[in-house]
Structure 1
Amino acid sequence: MSNHLAGKVAVITGASSGIGRSIADKFLAQGAKIAVFARNAKALAEIAVGNEERVLVVTGDVTNAADLERLVAETTKRFGGVDIIIPNAGIAKVVPFADSDVAAINHQFDVNFTGAVQTVRGFLPHIRKGGSVLFVTTFLTQVGFPGLAIYSASKAALKSFSQTLAAELAPLGIRVNSVAPGPIGTPIWGSIGLPADVLQAVATQVTARLMPGAFGGPADIAETAVFLCSDAAKNIWGQEIVVDGGYTIG
């Protein structure tokens, strides 16, 4: 077992499944202590099995200020300061432009943008010098998919925010970067609101543009996250690393 994150404390939201779960498992394997946060208490509890001394489980919703305050309080009580914040919690819904009213926009922005930003803001006083913030954006900020304008815009806002925050937090010795997943096989694909046959057709079309000939896996993003949050990436500031199987250059 490697220990690229030994001695570091990481906070991971949206950790109950998909990319967040893979990041949590990979960080544990790399020696980190982690606080995992999501709404699914049972799934979070599974992460802690066998690693109870290094895992703090906190249930809650990133759109609820009281839940985020509790996450900060419990994490700092258990581990003291923190070194890594990964506000991964996110949702994706297909919403045609004609249906993109204020409620539809707020629904995705509240989780994908505001929830991520407020997670980091709550922990800011507790991030140690040399720490790292890693936002999770998307390859869809570079290409267009009908029906995903709100989702893509929420992630584009997060990308822009992360670049500016990198400049603002640099004097504190805190690095800020983003990882942009491409087509990744996670449960989010089944929850975007497309019928099964349409979803399969989209997946086939997307796969045809992928250089490996298949969707990536959550572990591909987790491996990148380990690197970007480790000391090996100490000279990478304000960057977005796209992990998309070559989709955006194909």
Structure 2
Amino acid sequence: MRQADALRGRTAVITGAARGIGAGLARELAGRGIRLALLGLERDELEAVARSLPVEACCYEVDVTDDAAMDRTARAVDRVFGAPSIVIANAGIAEGGPFATSDAATWRRVIEVNLVGSAVTARSFVPDLLSTHGYFLQIASTAAFGSAPMMSAYCASKAGAESFAQSLRAELAHQRVAVGVAYVHWTDTDMIRDADRHTVLRELRAHMPPGARRTYPVDKVAAWLARGVDRRSPTVYAPPWLRSVQPLRPLLPLVVSAVSRRALPRLAERGPVEPTGLLGAGGHADRHATGPAQSS
């Protein structure tokens, strides 16, 4: 029996499921007959995603950085569906701009959601995964490969999430829980579209090699990720050609630094670079949910 068929009737938990990659993954996994627990900050959007799915799905409005709330959510999922076999730590936010002038609370919030939130997700659901011998997928990014200027919080959080997942993989392997890291490139989400509205982020992207600038549709990225879930893969690349970049990782910081030394002075000549604040509708939802202390 194919692994995808073996997952039919099982339960998957997806954080950050209100839109973008999270919603795309919900559609892909639902097509495999997997029931869904959708977690996020926006109940209306989560419920809209749930209504669009051909399987049973429940929605939980929760902040992934809140340990107690996430623990209550894990118990609620257990009551409705039983222990999940798949947990996907997808929730993420981003901000851009010079580190020195960044808002400290906004910068910290990116770390908290992307890194600490992933760890809280794992802590809440690992007991279930131990009972189902399940699969935990950490959504990382090519930002973990070669950290870019003006994106210090996002790059640090994704590199940290990668390292966290690798440590968790080694810790849980003997207990038959698989842990994967997904490396996602430019995807057509509202976060990326919002980033492209800001001159400095758009210009920095323009200095990437032509093939590396391409933006991929959410549904295509979700299909690549879902295939990794089917296979319980330790690494998932979206797009698949990113696998070939892994051996070059030691060189990437040198390349990024060389390009930045040329590009950033030219950008500075156009005027001061302002922080972007949290990007996209997901960033707006996070600001609304957590209050002005996290806004720029």
TM tier relative to shorter chain: 0.7 to 0.9
Q: Within the alignment, does 1:217 sit opposite 2:228 as a pair?
A: no
Aligned match of 2:235: 240
- Whichever structure has more helix as a proportion of its residues is 2
What does 1:1-250 align with in structure 2 at a 5 Å threshold? Answer: 3=5, 5-49=7-51, 51=53, 54-99=56-101, 102-127=104-129, 128-192=131-195, 195-198=197-200, 200-202=202-204, 204-206=206-208, 208-210=210-212, 214-230=214-230, 233-234=231-232, 236=233, 239-244=234-239, 246=241, 248=245
- Which is worse superposed, 8-17 or 60-69? 60-69
Given the two structures, how large is their TM-score scaled by the length of structure 2? 0.73
Whether contact under 8 Å (1:216, 1:245) holds in the other structure is: no
Whether contact under 8 Å (2:115, 2:161) holds in the other structure is: yes
Say if 1:132 and 1:183 are closer, same or farther in 2 by CA, change over 3 A: same
Say if 1:144 and 1:114 are closer, same or farther in 2 by CA, change over 3 A: closer
Number of residue pairs matched?
241
Partner amino acid for 1:42?
D
RMSD: 2.6
Say if 1:94 and 1:196 are closer, same or farther in 2 by CA, change over 3 A: closer
1:33-52 CA-to-partner distances (Å, cap 9, x unmatched) read 01001111111111222658
Task: Look up the SS of the partner of 2:123 in the other structure.
Answer: helix
Runs (5+) with no aligned partner, structure 2: 253-296
Whether contact under 8 Å (1:139, 1:244) holds in the other structure is: no
Distance 2:160 2:52 in 1: 38
Task: Look up the SS of the partner of 1:154 in the other structure.
Answer: helix
Distance 2:236 2:29 in 1: 18
In our comparison, the structure showing a higher alpha carbon Rg is 2
Q: How high is the sequence identity, in percent, across the aligned residues?
A: 27
Given the two structures, how large is their TM-score scaled by the length of structure 1? 0.85
Whether contact under 8 Å (1:5, 1:31) holds in the other structure is: yes
Distance 1:199 1:163 in 2: 29
Distance 1:83 1:48 in 2: 19
Partner amino acid for 1:121?
R
Distance 2:202 2:176 in 1: 45
Distance 1:105 1:199 in 2: 16
- Which is worse superposed, 71-80 or 60-69? 60-69
